[in-house]
Amino acid sequence: MSPEVKALTEDDVRPHLPAGLIPWDVRAFGSVGSTNDVARRLASSGEPEGTVVVAGSQSAGRGRRGAEWFSPPGGLWLSMVLRPEVPLERAWGLSIVGAVAVASAVRRSCELPGRIKWPNDVFVSGRKLAGVMVESAGDGAFILGVGVNANVRHEDLPRNRWYEATSVMVERGEACSRSELFGRLLAETESRYSLFTGSDQRSLTDEWRSLSLVFGERVRVERGGELLEGTVFGLEEDGAVVLRLLDGRQERVLPSGDVTLMVL
């Protein structure tokens, strides 16, 4: 077994933690059901902002819309406890924080051109490399869950009807340092988080737009049973994508409920 397939430990990641805005407190596990559930329990028992749960693998990892999230050894599976003092209706912005942070971390730490497919998936070369989800933990706490297929082998990547998946190892042809990627991800998260909680949400939205894979593209959106086809000409602060439909009408689609977008 290559050393990179071992679960990360607190000692592995400590030298890579940013000495910045959030006091990160890492809790590393070999295998858990879902790091989001562990982080939610910690948040409910009063653990502060900056508590991060990382696991070598997950037996019940989940994605958005209740989907299964395949989490074999070699990936980077983590959940952060955040306590932003913002109204609940703005919490969706944390997904933008996460997506921008992951795309930037992958760019800087792995030299891969990560782009964001609406709303918050990180893609490289047309394939999904990472996913982000936000869950409320009550009492003003949120869990930002991030899954990056770091050193997942090609044969261990998930297959589904929505997208093809890839990993850093597949794209680069060699393993990456998950500890370094982990540290970089926390550093990129805290800088975007300070834009989000401060008064500069606009530059965060601008960065999200500039990293977007869908801006200006012809897309098909499935919302509930409804099919929409058009060109993306807006990405807004509340996470909405704005389409110009084929008949010229405009339609705003929020990233909530049963909605998926496909680039045509």
Binding site for ligand BTN (CB under 6 A): 34-36, 58, 61-64, 67, 69, 71, 77-79, 121, 131-133, 145-147
Residue whose CB is nearest to ligand BTN in the complex, by number: 131
Of 62 and 192, nearer to ligand BTN (C-beta) is: 62
Q: How far apart are CA 176 and CA 151, in angstroms?
A: 7
Q: How far is the CB of 132 from ligand BTN (least distance, A)?
A: 6
Q: How far is the CB of 37 from ligand BTN (least distance, A)?
A: 7
CA 245 centroid distance within chain: 28
Of 36 and 197, nearer to ligand BTN (C-beta) is: 36
Q: How far is residue 137 from each of residues 109, 115, 118, 121, measured CA to CA in Å? A: 30, 28, 24, 22
Of 58 and 151, nearer to ligand BTN (C-beta) is: 58
Of 183 and 230, nearer to ligand BTN (C-beta) is: 183
Edge-to-edge strand list for the sheet holding 25-32: 25-32, 51-58, 76-82, 141-148, 127-138, 121-124, 115-117
Q: How far is the CB of 69 from ligand BTN (least distance, A)?
A: 4
Q: How far is the CB of 79 from ligand BTN (least distance, A)?
A: 5
The beta strand positions in 83-214, using DSSP E, are 115-117, 121-124, 127-138, 141-148
Q: How far is the CB of 135 from ligand BTN (least distance, A)?
A: 9
Largest Cα–Cα separation, the chain: 58
Closest by Cα among 152, 211, 212, 148 to 185: 148
Of 115 and 230, nearer to ligand BTN (C-beta) is: 115
Of 137 and 230, nearer to ligand BTN (C-beta) is: 137
List all residues 6 or more positions away from 250 whose beta carbon is below 8 Å from its beta carbon: 242, 243, 244
Q: Is the separation of the CB atoms in 212 and 115 below 8 Å?
A: yes
Q: How far is the CB of 200 from ligand BTN (least distance, A)?
A: 26
